[in-house]
Structure 1
Amino acid sequence: MTNAPEGFTYRQRKNGDIEMLHHGRPAGVLRGAAAARFLVDVEDQDPQELMARLTGNYRHGNERTAKNHPRNRNR
C-alpha cells in the first residue's frame, strides 16, 4: 500500500559535494561529512529512500493520523 520513492539520482562533484536530483531537477546538496556519510550509507540502504529522506520528499504514511491529533484538530 505504500508508494516507494522513485526518480532520485545523485552525482558527485569534483569538490566532493553530492548533488541530489529528483526527475532531473536539483533537490539538495550534501557537503563535507554529510556527503561522505551519504556515500557510505548509499551502499548499505535503498538509495531512493535514503535520498527521499535527506531531501524531505518523504511520506511516512501517518498523515491521516496526524490530522486527527488533538493539537491539529482546529486547523
Structure 2
Amino acid sequence: DTTTLKTAATTSISPLWLTIAKDSAAFTVSGTRTVRYGAGSAWVAKSMSGTGQCTAAFFGKDPAAGVAKVCQ
C-alpha cells in the first residue's frame, strides 16, 4: 500500500505525528518532509521528498530491534 501525506509538515518539535505507513510499507510525501521511523521512544528521522520505504534499510538503521515500527 502507498500512502500520500497531504497535511502540513510536522517537525521534531511538534508533539503530534501522523502515521503514514506501517513497517515494510511504501509511502509518498508531497514536498520535502521530515519523516521518522520507529516505535515508542526510539526513532530515526530523515528529511525527504517523494516515495520512501518504511524500513530500516531506507532510514539507515533499526531504532527499535525486534519491535514492529511505523513511519510518521
TM-score by length of 2: 0.29
Bigger RCO (CA 8 Å, 6+ sep):
2
More strand by share: 2
TM-score by length of 1: 0.28
